[in-house]
Amino acid sequence: MDIDLRKLRYFVAVAEELHFGRAAERLFVAQPALSRQVRALEEDLGVQLSRRDRRGTVLPPAGAQLLDDAVSLLAASAAMVRRVAAAAGEKPVFTIGFMPGITVTPAVRMLKARHSSLSVRLLRTGWSDQVEVLRDGRADVSIIRLPVDQSGLHVQPLFTESRLAVLPIDHPLAGRSAVTVLDLADDHLLQDPDAVPEWRDVARELRTGERDDVPALHSVEEKLELVAAGAGICVLPLSTAAFYTRPDVVAVPVDGIGPSRVCLAWVATHRSRFIQDFVDVSPSLAPTA
């Protein structure tokens, strides 16, 4: 079965807005035309994708699943068109994903020096999507922090840097010049414990089963807000902690925690002169002493 991407775009707008009127305004189409396209997609798939109740538009399980898949499919479609145009030499665009705290400017300048007509775009990523932006086509390369699922990717190490514990300013350890992992055993970590296995191995809240669920945090700013409010601590790479400074938190070196490993990644099957040239200039991404 062939899926009409226009119908898919219309459905995504409805699913994200949960309101046909707002979705129609977003797409600059008439609401009856939008409704017809969504109904046509439902007929194509043989399932109900949305329904209206007293609260408005809601997604049944099939609609929620399609939304999850459709966003990446539409992004991949747009990326395919972009890569084909770039391969043909028409309006080449190169998109670089990067994690917070990493300075991309030196490598971008060197790449532009080689390809003056190339349009370079930057895409800030987070732990949850730093490799997904490669798989769904939003980025050509991504500067990532390990660990990640490396399946289907080529991953090239770039550099390592130490990690620091970020504490509220009134934390008992805030005045220390350094702490150990054991010093943090009684603290609540505002991250996936697997991201800091050294803490995970000694944490009291994991040993006693008292750990509360940590909501999904999509940015460094969210983590720092919670740290400042006394909700817990977090562990950040040195460059990230240095970039996101604020007066109500303090970053302290931690003895016994492994470094952050920064790598360059791209989809292993993708070939382009721009990727290879960016690989060549990527050593400039390493921070200078």
Lowest-confidence range among 5-19, 94-108, 149-163, 272-286?
Answer: 5-19
Higher per-residue pLDDT: 52 or 110: 110
Q: Is 248 within the bounds of a domain?
A: yes
Q: Is 13 within the bounds of a domain?
A: yes
Whether the Cβ atoms of residue 285 and residue 106 lie closer than 8 Å to each other: yes
For residue 199, pLDDT beyond 80:
yes
Is there a single domain that holds both residue 168 and residue 198? yes
Q: What local confidence, expressed as pLDDT, does residue 37 receive?
A: 87
Q: What local confidence, expressed as pLDDT, does residue 49 receive?
A: 86
For residue 187, pLDDT beyond 90:
yes
Rounded average pLDDT over 179-204:
92
Q: Is 9 within the bounds of a domain?
A: yes
Whether the Cβ atoms of residue 127 and residue 190 lie closer than 8 Å to each other: no
Q: HSE (CB half, 13 Å, CA atoms) of 252?
A: 25
For residue 158, pLDDT beyond 70:
yes
Given pLDDT bands bounded at 50, 70 and 90, which one contains residue 185?
very high
Question: CA 46 to CA 1: how far, in whole Å?
Answer: 11
Q: Which of helix, strand or coil describes residue 64?
A: helix
Is there a single domain that holds both residue 46 and residue 177? no
Question: CA 178 to CA 195: how far, in whole Å?
Answer: 20
Is there a single domain that holds both residue 217 and residue 231? yes
| Host domain of residue 52 | 5-71
Distance (Å) of CA 154 to CA 141, 222, 265: 10, 31, 6
Percentage of the chain modeled with pLDDT above 70 = 96
Is there a single domain that holds both residue 142 and residue 97? yes
Is there a single domain that holds both residue 131 and residue 267? yes
Q: What is the pTM of this model?
A: 0.69
Is there a single domain that holds both residue 117 and residue 177? no
Is there a single domain that holds both residue 58 and residue 23? yes
Is there a single domain that holds both residue 156 and residue 265? yes
In the chain, which residue ranges form alpha helices assigned H by DSSP? 5-17, 20-27, 31-45, 61-87, 105-114, 132-135, 197-200, 204-207, 220-228, 238-243, 273-281
Whether the Cβ atoms of residue 203 and residue 196 lie closer than 8 Å to each other: no
Is there a single domain that holds both residue 216 and residue 194? yes
pLDDT, one tens digit per residue, over 205-246 is: 998 888 877 777 778 999 999 999 999 999 999 999 999 989
Question: CA 148 to CA 195: how far, in whole Å?
Answer: 10
Is there a single domain that holds both residue 174 and residue 245? yes
Higher per-residue pLDDT: 93 or 185: 185
Integer-rounded Cα Rg, in Å, for the chain is 23
Is there a single domain that holds both residue 47 and residue 110? no
Q: Is 83 within the bounds of a domain?
A: no
Question: CA 65 to CA 3: how far, in whole Å?
Answer: 15
Rounded average pLDDT over 161-179:
95
Is there a single domain that holds both residue 55 and residue 108? no
In CATH, what number is assigned to the domain containing residue 59? 1.10.10.10
pLDDT, one tens digit per residue, over 41-99 is: 888 888 998 887 767 788 888 888 988 888 878 877 777 776 676 666 666 889 999 99
**Would you state the structure tokens that stand for residue 183, as one six-digit string?**
């010093």
Q: Is 194 within the bounds of a domain?
A: yes
Number of domains in the chain: 3
Q: Is 81 within the bounds of a domain?
A: no
For residue 156, pLDDT beyond 70:
yes
Q: What local confidence, expressed as pLDDT, does residue 79 receive?
A: 72
Percentage of the chain modeled with pLDDT above 90 = 49
In CATH, what number is assigned to the domain containing residue 156? 3.40.190.10
Choose among 75, 64, 11, 70: nearest CA to 41: 11
Rounded average pLDDT over 264-288:
91
Question: CA 199 to CA 219: how far, in whole Å?
Answer: 21
Q: What local confidence, expressed as pLDDT, does residue 226 receive?
A: 94
Residues contacting 245, CB < 8 A, separation 6+: none
